[in-house]
């Protein structure tokens, strides 16, 4: 595929500076790009490469002031990083839209419903009464159980397992190896010390425009639904327990775990390897630092916490600063004690 600078600018509402007929057919890093490559500059640390890059077209911020002439055609936009993301998304859509049809061998139950322009890869299993919406792409080795609903324009990558009764919305992306709807971790202690399994009869509901990374597990609810609200972004290697609710546009980084029945609000940001106990609430806009252990509810919106147990981020920084100064403080106390002792001896 080949596009002119003018065509690219039209896609991202940019302004061409230079040769509007310059063509591009591939993407490239600004420091490595060659002729016919499209690159972008968002980080000022890479500005020097703008003047030496081989790229034919470079997307830059509107406010960028050139320090010397450039050979590439520029496309100026308010936010170069976001504009480049839009282009990559369009490029990916074009590539996936070309995938249509059913590869062999597959198993699709006769009662399952397939939308228009669906792609089903080899060794896919689609269970009884399940449905897949228009233009969705199911890659090889995916298991879709009975009574599962998958919306439109959704991409489910290789090896994903979606258990019975679960619901996946439209414009969702689920990466390889993720398991949706496995049993929640529920056991009732018995008098003899054994553990009796509590049946998990709920499901998982994933709303629209959610992205879930590779090898993440989202457990089905004991009763009701584990909910991933629209716009949420979940990284690789997460454990989301039964009856958890993750709010709109919240982000969770890799290797974090959320225990059962915890409710996470909207626009929450959770760093990698954070752990959150069960049955608590995390207020909208909260920020949880990497490796934090959250043991109680965060009730104030837009709070930031860190540490284990997690507490106020600013207070934690002050504590860390004081900790670093402990040797000097100890010496000062020893000097003061010595001075007091000397004064006492003079009496």
List residues with catalytic annotation. Answer: 242
Residue 96 buriedness (CB in 10 A; 0-12 / 13-18 / 19+) = middle
DSSP 274: -
- Which helix (H) or strand (E) element contains residue 227? strand 225-228
Q: Describe the chain by its helix, strand, coil percentages, rounded to 5.
A: 20, 30, 50
How far apart are alpha carbons 155 and 139 in whole angstroms? 8
Read off the tokens for 72.
């590439």
Report helix angle 5-12 to 80-97, nearest 10.
100
Cα(11)–Cα(182) distance, integer angstroms:
41
Cβ-in-10-Å burial (0-12, 13-18, 19+) of 227 comes to buried
The phi, psi pair for 319, rounded to 5°, reads -65, -40
Supply the DSSP string of 49-76, one letter for each residue: HHTT---SEEEEETTPPPSS--SSEEEE
């Amino acid at each position: 595929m080949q596009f002119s600078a003018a065509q690219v600018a039209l896609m991202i509402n940019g302004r061409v500076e230079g040769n509007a007929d310059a063509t591009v057919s591939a993407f490239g890093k600004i420091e490595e790009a060659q002729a016919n490559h499209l690159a972008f500059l968002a980080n000022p640390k890479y500005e020097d490469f703008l003047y030496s890059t081989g790229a034919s077209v470079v997307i830059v911020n509107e406010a960028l002031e050139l320090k010397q002439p450039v050979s590439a055609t520029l496309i100026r936009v308010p936010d170069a990083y976001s504009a480049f993301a839009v282009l990559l998304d369009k490029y990916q859509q074009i590539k996936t839209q070309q995938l249509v049809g059913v590869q062999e061998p597959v198993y699709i139950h006769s009662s399952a419903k397939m939308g228009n322009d669906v792609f089903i890869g080899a060794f896919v299993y689609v269970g009884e009464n399940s449905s897949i919406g228009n233009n969705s792409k199911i890659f090889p080795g995916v298991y879709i159980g009975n009574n599962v609903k998958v919306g439109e324009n959704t991409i489910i990558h290789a090896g994903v397992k979606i258990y019975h009764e679960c619901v996946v919305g439209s414009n969702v992306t689920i990466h390889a190896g993720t398991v949706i709807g496995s049993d929640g971790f529920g056991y009732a202690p018995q008098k003899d010390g054994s553990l009796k399994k509590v049946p998990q009869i709920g499901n998982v509901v994933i709303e629209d425009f959610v992205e879930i990374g590779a090898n993440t597990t989202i457990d089905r609810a004991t009763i009701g639904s584990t909910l991933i609200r629209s716009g949420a972004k979940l990284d690789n290697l997460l454990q989301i327990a039964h009856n958890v609710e993750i709010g709109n546009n919240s982000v969770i980084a890799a290797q974090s775990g959320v225990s059962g029945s915890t409710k996470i609000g909207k626009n929450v940001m959770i760093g990698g390897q954070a752990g959150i106990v069960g049955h608590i609430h995390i207020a909208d806009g909260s920020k949880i630092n990497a490796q934090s252990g959250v043991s109680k509810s965060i009730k104030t919106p837009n709070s930031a916490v860190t540490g284990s147990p997690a507490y106020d981020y600013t207070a934690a920084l002050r504590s860390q600063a004081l900790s670093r100064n402990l040797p000097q403080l100890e010496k000062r106390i020893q000097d003061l004690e010595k001075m007091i002792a000397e004064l006492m001896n003079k009496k």
